[in-house]
Amino acid sequence: MVGGVNRRILTLLAALVPVLVLGVIGTVVKVPFVALGPGPTFNTLGEVDGKQVVDVVGAELDPTSGHLNMTTVAVRDGLNLFEAFGFWVSGQHGLVPRAEVYPPGVPREEIDKSNQQEFKDSEGNAEVAALHYLKLPTVVLIRNVGDDAPAKDVLRPGDQIVSVDGAPIATPKDLVSAVSSLPPGSRLSVVVRRDNAERTEIVTLGARPDDPAKGYLGVTPGEGALPPMGVTFNLADIGGPSAGLMFSLALIDKLSPGDLDGGKFVAGTGTIDKEGAVGPIGGIQYKMMAAREAGAETFLVPAANCNEARQRTPEGLRLVKVETLDGAVQSLNAINAGAEAPSCG
């Protein structure tokens, strides 16, 4: 009798061994895929960590209500076999080869740095596009100073460039032209506005990397609001350029009468350039999911993403096709007035 029981136990254990081995393998073996899914969504009219997402100082602001939410895609890396399978069957995530998100041979830190720079660039473009739409004046600002730039210890991000060698600087192109017209080694007199005061700085130009015969400051110039007005974007740990459209709309909403969103829940996505052109983004289906789950009723879709978006539209979410910042504002005004707006349908 005892021998029979032992044989049955051994038979059961023999049957469980492959399952146990598979279980161990499934939790240890990493797969060459990442999972994409709905990420966090932020109201650009609201606050994050006690700060306004789009903070404007030195200007009269109009009260806002409702939501103008920017949306993100969550990327989950380092998946084991079981985790990948779980995401795949969830219906809310997709698996893509890891190499499409993290190219082989490129350090993760370099990829993250590039994504963060794209996000910073989108903030600058969003500010300029909104100011141009509102016909507000802009000035030339230093957006970035290179680590090895000739201007590294002289100019700072946020400096307003007033003049170069006595010539007024009205656009970023003015600065580039003034610098590149001089040979390396030239001493350049730069008047900047910093901390509400003008000061003169002297910079010895280096050689431009792509043309050693031309002078080089090593700064990235951009446009920004005319002081005392200032705009700050307060979202950290977000990468890529796809929040540009929603940042521009938030800034316009704060600086103009009425509510662009009609006091309702609008979300969206899209890159933006300084002229207000809206460009396509990735992961549209996951951004729409995140928006709808958060309560959005209307979603602004870049025109180039419309085909993909209408194939995976969450129930109850109205899609509005957007090609320009001006068009986005017109569409929201039309919706608020009970009229039709361009659709992806």
CATH number of the domain bearing residue 130: 3.30.230
3 domain residue, yes or no: no
98 domain residue, yes or no: no
Marked catalytic residue, from 122, 163, 242, 248: 242
What pLDDT, on the 0 to 100 scale, is given for residue 8? 58
> Which CATH number goes with the domain that contains 193?
2.30.42.10
Cis preceding linkage at 168, omega within 30: no
C-alpha span between 31 and 88 (Å, rounded):
13
Q: Are residues 64 and 127 in the same domain?
A: yes
81 domain residue, yes or no: no
Q: Are residues 320 and 197 in the same domain?
A: no
Q: Are residues 127 and 182 in the same domain?
A: no
- Which domain does 289 fall in, by range? 36-76+107-135+230-337
Q: Are residues 262 and 124 in the same domain?
A: yes
Last residue of a domain, one of 187, 206, 225: 225
202 domain residue, yes or no: yes
Does the active-site annotation cover 242? yes
Q: Are residues 125 and 144 in the same domain?
A: no
19 domain residue, yes or no: no
Q: Are residues 190 and 298 in the same domain?
A: no
> How many domains is the chain built from?
2
Last residue of a domain, one of 225, 259, 274: 225
Q: Are residues 292 and 149 in the same domain?
A: no
What pLDDT, on the 0 to 100 scale, is given for residue 304? 98
> What one-character DSSP code corresponds to residue 32?
S
What pLDDT, on the 0 to 100 scale, is given for residue 25? 53
CB 79 within 8 A of CB 88: no
- Reported as type and span, the H/E element at residue 164 is strand 160-164
Q: Are residues 297 and 236 in the same domain?
A: yes
Does the active-site annotation cover 214? no
Marked catalytic residue, from 122, 248, 254, 287: 287
Q: Are residues 131 and 235 in the same domain?
A: yes
Environment class of 167 (CB within 10 Å of its CB; exposed 0-12, middle 13-18, buried 19+): exposed
At 67, give phi and psi (nearest 5°).
-135, 140
Question: Dihedral, CA atoms, 184, 189, 190, 194, nearest 10 degrees?
Answer: 130
CB 134 within 8 A of CB 244: no
303 domain residue, yes or no: yes
pTM of the full structure = 0.88
306 domain residue, yes or no: yes
**pLDDT tens digits, the chain, 345 residues: what are they?**
444 545 655 565 555 555 444 444 556 678 899 999 999 999 999 999 999 999 999 999 999 999 999 999 999 999 988 888 889 888 899 999 999 999 999 998 999 989 998 998 999 999 999 999 999 999 999 999 999 999 999 999 999 999 999 999 999 999 999 999 999 999 999 999 998 899 999 999 999 999 999 999 999 999 999 989 999 999 988 999 999 999 999 999 999 999 999 999 999 999 999 999 999 999 999 999 999 999 999 999 999 999 999 999 999 999 999 999 999 999 999 999 999 999 997
Last residue of a domain, one of 171, 191, 225: 225
Q: Are residues 244 and 325 in the same domain?
A: yes
Q: Are residues 129 and 163 in the same domain?
A: no
Q: Are residues 125 and 248 in the same domain?
A: yes
